[in-house]
Amino acid sequence: MRQLLSLTTLGCFVVPNLLRSTMAWRSHGATNTELVANLKANGIITSAEVEKAMLRTDRGKYILEVNKPYQDAPQGIGYGVTISAPHMHAHALEILKDHLKEGNKVLDVGSGSGYLTVCMALMVNQPLTSYNYYIRSNGVPTAW
**Residue numbers annotated as active site:** 84
Per CATH, which fold does 5-143 belong to? Rossmann fold (3.40.50)
The 10s digit of each residue's pLDDT in 77-95 is 877 788 899 999 999 999 9
pLDDT digits 0-9 by tens, 18-64: 444 445 468 999 999 999 999 999 999 999 999 999 999 999 998 87
**3-class SS string, 59-102:** HHHCCCCCCCCCCCCCEEEECCEEECCHHHHHHHHHHHCCCCCC
In this predicted structure, what is the pLDDT of residue 114? 85
Could you state, in order of their start, the residue ranges of all structural domains in the chain?
5-143
Q: What's the pLDDT at 140? A: 53
Q: Evaluate if pTM is beyond 0.85.
A: no
Task: Give the chain's mean pLDDT.
Answer: 78
**pLDDT(8) > 80:** no
What angle do helix axes 48-56 and 115-124 make, rounded to 10 degrees? Answer: 130
